[in-house]
Amino acid sequence: MKYRLMDLLACPMCKHFPLKLIVFEEIEIERPEKIRRCELYCGYHQAMIEDLSELNCEDCWGKEIVSGILICEKCGRWYPIEEEIPRMLPDDLRDRNKDLSFLSRWKSRIPERVLSDGKPFNLGNA
């Protein structure tokens, strides 16, 4: 997943924007010749564009998120990023076992509130 995608992503359930991003693994990738600036939100700096005095767009465009988690701080839902793909499915289409496995694998890097109270699944109700 590209950091710049955070400028577009909102929670599919409650439509909250922006989502919180926690990166577990990232890789360096080749930067394209043409680099565009995000419009509203910089996922690389995790801040609204209007609040940033300096941008590192070249650095951002040279990275790919391999594993991580997206968290909606409004409704408490979380979405895994696996194999560079954000898995942003509605609750009824999510696989409970896969989600719990993801939480267990990365529990040392995931906030406690997600582990215990995250929606739709968490380790507290496993």
* Cα distance between residue 101 and residue 27, in whole Å: 23
pLDDT the model gives residue 60:
93
* Cα distance between residue 41 and residue 20, in whole Å: 11
**Domain annotation for the chain: domains and CATH numbers:** 3-89 (2.20.25.10)
Establish how many alpha carbons lie within 13 A of residue 15's alpha carbon, considering only the half-sphere containing its beta carbon.
Answer: 0
* Cα distance between residue 101 and residue 108, in whole Å: 13
- Joined together, the tokens standing for residue 124 give 């507290």
pLDDT in tens, the chain (126 residues): 999 999 999 999 999 999 999 999 999 999 988 999 999 999 999 999 999 998 889 999 999 999 999 999 999 999 999 999 999 999 999 999 999 999 999 999 999 999 999 999 999 976
pLDDT the model gives residue 126:
64
Amino acid present at 56:
N
